[in-house]
Amino acid sequence: MAFDLAVWLDERRQAGLYRQRKTVESPQGPEVVVDGKPFLAFCSNDYLGLANHPDIVASFRQATDDCGLGSGASHLVLGHSRAHHQLEEALAEFTGRDRALLFANGYMANLGVISALLGKQDAVFQDRLNHASLLDAGQLCGARSQRYQHNDVDNLRRRLDKSDGRRKMIVTDGVFSMDGDIAPVTALAELASQHQGWLMVDDAHGFGCLGNIGGGVAELYHLDQQQLPVLIGTLGKAFGTYGAFVAGSDALIETLIQFARTYIYTTALPPAVASATLTSLSLLRHEHWRRTHLQDLIHYFRTGCAQLGLPLLPSSTPIQPLLVGDASQTVSISQVLYDHGIMVTPIRPPTVPKGTARLRITFSAAHQRHHLDRLLDALSLPSVACWFRGDDNGVKL
């Protein structure tokens, strides 16, 4: 065969980049059953511990009793239900925007929004560590796409100064998905306004975790609809359900309904997912203790890692990556932890830049300190600690 897939796959394996799935046989939570065995897990994005919350599950059940399961059609045909509409109104109020629009998921929201707003004569400026869905959207929309240095406002300013794009859009993760750090959104909003451009923030990992009511970076930095006109949230992470939304002005939402192809040409979410998410939104807003508890866990873990001399990346969010550098070594460490009943996913290129493979440790409000003690114990095992000790692993922080 001219194009041998087996050879290609083998190269992938040799490079330590081969990806494999594990089968989960329990609900999400700190303790999960995977391939028949119990594990302590530190790799979900269920930051508030809502993915298996009884009230949310009960809302879902009630809604399927009332409305059945499938939405049956796209939003513009016959799929836009009362539950979807109520959730959109609640999300608009929650984010302090005119309106919100539901999408099937975050990937599709990003593709749909960027390609609805930008075309060939335009310019899109992306942080180089943005999520894959944003980078893909930048390619798809046909605009001139640039990646600026991570969180580097000066680098971005120079690029904006040189650009002659018709429309200019700055696009960034709110909380970076593989690093856990936060974008300098206030400075980005100022730059956008100085250049008559738009700022778009994908806050998939900030919603629920940051702000007094879990409103993410927009709430934390008090950015209103003028300063931050395109705000994306996903529902599969801290909300514990599924789907995504865009929040912004009435004109933005109407534009997306007309032009966002990933909104128009796809089936609406099951309405019961929207009903369940309404309950989840209420818990996310009102149960502030979940955020306080998360902060306590983060502090506890960072203190423990500092005592062990482990190279944690600087992060104040539930994403606490331990930098390893080499992809194969990262897989080996993850395997040792796995053999000790602890699940932490190795994150390798191309998800992160070459030479910055890492263990992406994430916490949930459902974790307790004793869970973290087990993780810290495992990280101090000689067979794990040796990878981090002494000699420079070749990676600059």
Ligand X SMILES: *Cc1c(COP(=O)(O)O)cnc(C)c1O
Identity of the residue, 106 or 240, whose beta carbon is nearer to ligand X in the bound complex: 106
Whole-angstrom CA distances from 317 to 228, 298, 366 are 21, 7, 15
- In whole angstroms, the minimum distance from the beta carbon of 213 to ligand X comes to 20
- The nearer residue to ligand X, 146 or 234, going by C-beta atoms, is 234
Q: In which order are the strands placed within the sheet that holds 319-325? A: 319-325, 357-362, 345-347
Catalytic residue among 237, 293, 367, 371: 237
Tell me phi and psi for residue 23, to 5 degrees. Answer: -100, 120
List binders of ligand X among 235-294 (CB under 6 A).
236, 244
Query: Is 84 in the active site?
Result: no
The closest alpha carbon to 165, from 125, 134, 130, belongs to: 125
Catalytic residue among 59, 177, 280, 315: 177
Spell out the long-range contacts of 219-224 with Cβ–Cβ below 8 A and sequence spacing 24 or more. Answer: 221/185, 221/186, 223/185, 223/186, 223/189, 224/96
Catalytic, 168? Answer no
The interface mask with ligand X, positions 187-216, x = CB under 6 A, is: ---------------x-xx-----------
Contact call for residues 85 and 215 (beta carbons, < 8 A): no
91 to 110, contacts with ligand X by CB under 6 A? Answer: 105-107, 110
**Nearer to ligand X by C-beta: 107 or 338?**
107
Per the rule left: phi > 0, alpha: psi between -120 and 50, beta: everything else, 32 is: beta
Rg of the chain in Å (alpha carbons) = 21
Q: How far is the CB of 234 from ligand X (least distance, A)?
A: 4
Residue of closest CB approach to ligand X: 106
Q: In a 3-state reduction of DSSP, which class is residue 232?
A: strand
Q: Is 205 a catalytic residue?
A: yes
Closest separation in Å from C-beta 216 to ligand X: 11
Binding mask 173-192 for ligand X (x = CB under 6 A): x---x---------------
Q: Which of 334, 339, 382 is nearest to 361 (CA)?
A: 334
Which residue in 84, 205, 367, 371 is the catalytic one? 205
Interface contacts to ligand X, rule CB under 6 A: 105-107, 110, 131, 133, 173, 177, 202, 204-205, 234, 236, 244
Please give the positions annotated as active site: 177, 205, 237
